[in-house]
């Protein structure tokens, strides 16, 4: 019935000429230039208001079967008004539009970096403080990420369905249950509370503190509300407090409503302060009053010196650099440092350098990812290079994969001698992205450099999993990659070591395939020579302009990645119904019918 309401609205509000323009523009939008052209009529549609804009996009999504109807409605209902707001505010011809065309439709490559020289309070010291190992025993730190807890996970519902996540008692489910959801989780579903508790019980054993790099909420993003996000964040914070004996240093992830939608402080409407306030409160026991105050006032970022250490953990909110945060496209004025996240990082790094501390940078999205806007990644890299002697490690999540990424002083000449910083990326806890896993670091107490990374996992295909999940060692980085990369007994896992690991991948395909299996924790599929070259390139690129990712066309409302985010997926070969598919179908329709009636016909068909 609602679809009729949409059509009535659509026909009443939109002139036939405008529909004609939009249909033709969609039909022809196969290049970056034509995407700019498409934005002209879409801007006209947005000018009519959020409701006709959202209703029209929803009708297109539903008509083409991009997602089940409830998913189209929920997802576009949430993100549509932000995109309409963007379109009303920007010129279809300028750079912001180009970036929007890249992230929303995948039709434009990122524009060249807008050059900006980051300024620092002090020049790098001529003779930086040496951090020397004295042979002390390492201590342990756990790192977990992308836990995606589904509080509505229901045992006995279908673990196989046509929605982005299953194992829920969806009201529109019909027919017999094909694959009943078990007590501890399933590969098509987000994490049930039982598995979270099993994990927290396991992870609390040896570490002196944990890093949690975000993403608490389940991927039913088309259904989430602000209240649900608040409740889910609070419940998990309280579980961490009661079940872990040691502090947790978390980061802000995409937790928001809508997901990822953090408006900048230059935007009048929309506000994420409730996310920061909830976490400032929930994290206070670990990050103290000062850290909690920073979370409130620096858009979720804070720093903390774990008791008994000379280490400053700087936790920053990188969602302001995330391509899929659609609030970032609401102005033609380019902002080098949205919400001052880069400025906060510099201030904290300078304080650490002045105090002779080492630093770990912690955030949800790693700045070398294909999801990171090139400008902010480039500026962040300048900071990393300036403070390379202070930064002992970087820790991220977001990709759901067990990965690493290397920064270089010279990206034109990436080798073991120019490698300057190493980022560790934690695998996801949610079974939706392979076997649930987390990292345990052995850390040298003098230098705060990582001496070994051990990855633990639980095997959901093991019959005992549904009674009592077992967490076992998957591999140790030191023993798996050390010999091939010439690791010395007294050497930490330095940026240079990790570069040598990538050299070993290039030289030894068996080792590379082993890495890919560990990365995915499911069958990673095949990877030909160009896939291998791109994978190695991405490992050697903590600066996103250097990661060899090529934006692929695809309507990103459809292209939801493992996280349930609407992101482009570098190596998704299953992209059967991307925008190319839509255009082909649309073009087929247009040959037979005149555009307006053809388009309306498509709407009515649903």
Ligand X SMILES: *[C@@H]1O[C@H](CO)[C@@H](O)[C@H](O)[C@H]1NC(C)=O
CA distances 199 to 300, 437, 466, Å, are: 26, 9, 14
- The conformational region for residue 554 under phi > 0 = left, psi -120 to 50 = alpha, else beta, is left
User: Nearest distance from residue 35's CB to ligand X, in Å?
Assistant: 30
Rounded CA separation 26/586 (Å): 8
User: Nearest distance from residue 600's CB to ligand X, in Å?
Assistant: 37
**Which residue in 56, 157, 544, 547 binds ligand X (CB under 6 A)?**
157
Query: What is the 8-class DSSP label of residue 370?
Result: T
Contacting residues for 189 by C-beta, under 8 A, at least 6 apart: 150, 153, 159, 165, 166, 167, 168, 181, 431, 432
Contacting residues for 554 by C-beta, under 8 A, at least 6 apart: 105, 106, 568, 575, 578, 579, 580
Contact map string, positions 252 to 281, toward ligand X, x by CB under 6 A: -------------xx---------------
Contact map string, positions 374 to 413, toward ligand X, x by CB under 6 A: ----------------------------------------
Q: Tokens representing 550?
A: 């090529």
Of 78, 95, 79, 77, nearest to 39 (Cα)?
Answer: 95
Rounded CA separation 245/234 (Å): 18
Closest CB to ligand X among residues 35, 342: 342
Contact map string, positions 431 to 470, toward ligand X, x by CB under 6 A: ----------------------------------------
Closest CB to ligand X among residues 199, 498: 498
Q: Among residue numbers 495 through 524, which ones bind ligand X (CB under 6 A)? A: 508, 510-511, 514
Is 154 near ligand X (CB under 6 A)? yes
Closest CB to ligand X among residues 345, 372: 345
Asked if the peptide bond before residue 258 counts as cis, ω within 30 degrees of 0, the response is: yes
Closest CB to ligand X among residues 111, 343: 343
Binding footprint of ligand X, residue count (CB under 6 A): 16
Closest CB to ligand X among residues 171, 413: 171
**Which residue in 488, 526, 530, 573 binds ligand X (CB under 6 A)?**
488
CA distances 39 to 29, 73, 178, 511, Å, are: 10, 21, 43, 46
Rounded CA separation 17/213 (Å): 48
User: Nearest distance from residue 11's CB to ligand X, in Å?
Assistant: 37
**Which residue in 128, 156, 486, 525 binds ligand X (CB under 6 A)?**
156
Query: What is the 8-class DSSP label of residue 404?
Result: E
User: Nearest distance from residue 18's CB to ligand X, in Å?
Assistant: 34
Q: Tokens representing 91?
A: 């010129």
Q: Tokens representing 393?
A: 């490690």
Nearest residue to ligand X on Cβ basis = 340
Q: Which residue matches tokens 């300057």?
A: 420
Q: In this chain, which stretch among 61-69, 149-157, 222-230, 250-258 interacts with ligand X, using CB under 6 A?
A: 149-157
Q: Cα(first)–Cα(last) distance of the chain, in Å? A: 10
**Which residue in 339, 405, 447, 546 binds ligand X (CB under 6 A)?**
339
Is 525 near ligand X (CB under 6 A)? no
Contacting residues for 324 by C-beta, under 8 A, at least 6 apart: 103, 260, 371, 556, 565, 566, 567
Rounded CA separation 165/151 (Å): 13
Q: In this chain, which stretch among 62-70, 152-160, 404-412, 523-531 interacts with ligand X, using CB under 6 A?
A: 152-160
CA distances 136 to 131, 445, 446, 478, 489, Å, are: 13, 7, 8, 18, 14
User: Nearest distance from residue 514's CB to ligand X, in Å?
Assistant: 6
Q: In this chain, which stretch among 39-47, 337-345, 367-375, 427-435 interacts with ligand X, using CB under 6 A?
A: 337-345
For residues 522 and 434, the answer to whether their CB atoms sit within 8 Å is: yes
β strands within 372-509, DSSP E: 391-397, 403-408, 419-425, 437-443, 450-457, 472-476
Is 340 near ligand X (CB under 6 A)? yes
Q: In this chain, which stretch among 102-110, 150-158, 238-246, 574-582 interacts with ligand X, using CB under 6 A?
A: 150-158
User: Nearest distance from residue 280's CB to ligand X, in Å?
Assistant: 16
Closest CB to ligand X among residues 33, 511: 511
Closest CB to ligand X among residues 156, 525: 156
Contacting residues for 138 by C-beta, under 8 A, at least 6 apart: 442, 443, 444, 445, 451, 452
User: Nearest distance from residue 575's CB to ligand X, in Å?
Assistant: 32
Pairing of strands 358-365, 403-408: unpaired
User: Nearest distance from residue 518's CB to ligand X, in Å?
Assistant: 11
For residues 556 and 566, the answer to whether their CB atoms sit within 8 Å is: yes
Is 351 near ligand X (CB under 6 A)? no
Closest CB to ligand X among residues 145, 494: 494
Is 490 near ligand X (CB under 6 A)? yes
**Which residue in 281, 446, 459, 491 binds ligand X (CB under 6 A)?**
491
Closest CB to ligand X among residues 311, 501: 501
Closest CB to ligand X among residues 20, 503: 503
Closest CB to ligand X among residues 65, 138: 138
Q: In this chain, which stretch among 104-112, 247-255, 336-344, 525-533 interacts with ligand X, using CB under 6 A?
A: 336-344
User: Nearest distance from residue 457's CB to ligand X, in Å?
Assistant: 19
Helix (H, G, I), strand (E, B) or coil at 354: helix
Closest CB to ligand X among residues 96, 301: 301
User: Nearest distance from residue 555's CB to ligand X, in Å?
Assistant: 32
Contact map string, positions 169 to 208, toward ligand X, x by CB under 6 A: x---------------------------------------
User: Nearest distance from residue 333's CB to ligand X, in Å?
Assistant: 12
DSSP 35-74: HHHHHHHHHHHHHT-HHHHHHHHHHHHHHTTSS-HHHHHH
Closest CB to ligand X among residues 138, 340: 340
Interface residues toward ligand X, by CB under 6 A? 154, 156-157, 169, 265-266, 339-340, 343, 488, 490-491, 508, 510-511, 514
């Amino acid at each position: 019935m609602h679809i009729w309401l949409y059509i009535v609205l659509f026909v009443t509000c939109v002139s036939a000429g405008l529909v004609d323009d939009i249909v033709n523009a969609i039909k022809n939008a196969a290049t970056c230039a034509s995407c700019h052209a498409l934005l002209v009529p879409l801007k006209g549609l947005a000018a009519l208001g959020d409701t006709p804009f959202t209703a029209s996009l929803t009708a297109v999504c539903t008509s083409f079967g991009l997602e089940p109807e409830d998913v189209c409605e929920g997802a576009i209902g949430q993100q549509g008004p932000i995109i309409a707001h963007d379109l009303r505010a920007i010129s279809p011809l300028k750079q912001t539009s180009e970036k929007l065309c890249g992230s929303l439709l995948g039709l434009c490559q990122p524009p060249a970096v807008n050059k900006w020289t980051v300024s620092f309070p002090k020049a790098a010291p001529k003779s930086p403080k040496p951090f020397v190992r004295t042979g002390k025993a390492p201590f342990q730190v756990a790192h977990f990420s992308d836990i995606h807890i589904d509080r509505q996970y229901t045992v006995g519902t279908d673990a196989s369905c046509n929605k982005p996540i299953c194992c829920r008692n969806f009201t529109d489910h019909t027919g017999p249950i094909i694959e009943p959801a078990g007590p501890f989780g399933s590969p098509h579903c987000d994490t049930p509370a039982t598995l979270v508790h099993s994990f927290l019980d396991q992870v609390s054993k040896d570490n002196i503190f944990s890093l949690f790099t975000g993403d608490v909420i389940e991927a039913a993003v088309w259904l989430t509300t602000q209240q649900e996000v608040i409740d889910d964040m609070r419940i998990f914070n309280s579980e961490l407090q009661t079940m872990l004996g040691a502090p947790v240093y978390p980061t802000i992830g995409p937790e928001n409503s809508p997901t990822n939608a953090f408006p900048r402080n230059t935007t009048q409407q929309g506000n994420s302060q409730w996310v920061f306030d909830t976490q400032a409160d929930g994290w206070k026991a670990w990050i103290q009053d000062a850290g909690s105050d920073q979370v409130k006032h620096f858009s979720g970022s804070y720093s903390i010196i774990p008791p008994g250490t000379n280490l400053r953990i700087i936790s920053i909110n990188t969602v302001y650099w995330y391509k899929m945060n659609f609030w970032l496209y609401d102005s033609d004025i380019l902002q080098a440092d949205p919400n001052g996240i880069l400025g906060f990082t510099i201030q904290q790094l300078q304080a650490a350098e002045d105090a002779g501390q080492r630093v770990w940078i912690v955030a949800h999205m790693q700045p070398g990812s294909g999801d990171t806007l090139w400008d902010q990644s480039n500026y962040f890299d300048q900071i990393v290079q300036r403070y390379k002697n202070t930064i002992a490690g970087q820790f991220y999540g977001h990709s759901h994969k067990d990965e690493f990424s290397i920064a270089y002083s010279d990206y034109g000449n990436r080798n073991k001698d120019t490698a300057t910083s190493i980022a560790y990326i934690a695998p996801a806890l949610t079974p939706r992205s392979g076997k649930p896993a987390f990292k345990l670091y052995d850390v040298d107490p003098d230098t705060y450099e990582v001496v070994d990374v051990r990855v633990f996992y639980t095997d959901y295909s093991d019959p005992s999993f549904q009674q009592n999940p077992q967490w076992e060692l998957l591999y140790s980085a030191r023993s798996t990659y050390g010999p091939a990369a010439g690791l010395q007994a007294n050497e930490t896992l330095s940026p240079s070591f990790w570069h040598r690991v990538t050299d070993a991948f290039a030289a030894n395909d068996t080792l590379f395939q082993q890495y890919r299996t560990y990365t995915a924790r499911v069958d990673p599929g095949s990877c030909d020579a160009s896939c291998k070259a791109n994978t190695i390139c991405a490992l050697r690129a903590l600066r996103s302009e250097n990661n060899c990712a090529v934006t692929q066309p695809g309507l990103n409302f459809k292209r939801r990645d493992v996280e349930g985010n609407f992101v482009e997926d570098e190596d998704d070969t299953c992209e059967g119904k991307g925008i190319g598919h839509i255009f082909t179908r649309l073009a087929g329709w247009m040959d037979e019918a005149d555009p307006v009636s053809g388009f309306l016909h498509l709407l009515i068909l649903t």
